Amino acid sequence: DTGVSQDPRHKITKRGQNVTFRCDPISEHNRLYWYRQTLGQGPEFLTYFQNEAQLEKSRLLSDRFSAERPKGSFSTLEIQRTEQGDSAMYLCASSRTGLSQETQYFGPGTRLLVL
């Protein structure tokens, strides 16, 4: 299997602009997760998809954040009206159901800097 890929790897934007990130999971992985990692911290869960259905969202995911997985394959995470506090690494992970020992495989992340 090819791994989880994320695009772009780095994004610099000005406060107030909208940004969109893409995640391509491992093929045949039906679960997809988004996490956010700020400097010096561990990743924090943002949201989760099973196939195309978004089944859980963290309270960290404000109204400015939206995620989609339209065909149950790749996913996008959009941040509207970015704020400096949105600066972080955004990580995507995928896994496959049917296995009791579900393992999440992470992509390389998208590092966002909001000026």
Dist CA 59 CA 2 (whole Å): 32
Query: Judged by CB under 8 A, does residue 90 bind other proteins?
Result: no
Element (DSSP H or E) covering residue 114:
strand 110-114
Closest CB to other proteins among residues 62, 97: 97
Nearest C-alpha neighbor of 89 from the set 2, 16, 8, 32: 8
Pick the binder of other proteins from 22, 29, 31, 96 (CB under 8 A): 31
Is 108 one of the binding residues for other proteins (CB under 8 A)? yes
CB 93 within 8 A of CB 5: no
Told to check if 25 binds other proteins by CB under 8 A, we report no
Token pair of 44 as six digits? 């924090």
SS (H, E, C) 93-109: EEECCCCCCCCCEECCC
**Binding-site string for other proteins from residue 45 to residue 74, where x marks contact by CB under 8 A and - marks none:** x--x-x----xx------------------
Residue 111 binding other proteins, by CB under 8 A: yes
Q: Which two tokens stand for residue 20?
A: 């969109």
Q: Based on the shown chain and the rule CB under 8 A, indicate whether residue 91 belongs to the binding site for other proteins.
A: yes
Binding flag, residue 41, other proteins (CB under 8 A): yes
Binding site for other proteins (CB under 8 A): 4, 6, 31, 33, 35, 40-45, 48, 50, 55-56, 91, 93, 95, 100-109, 111
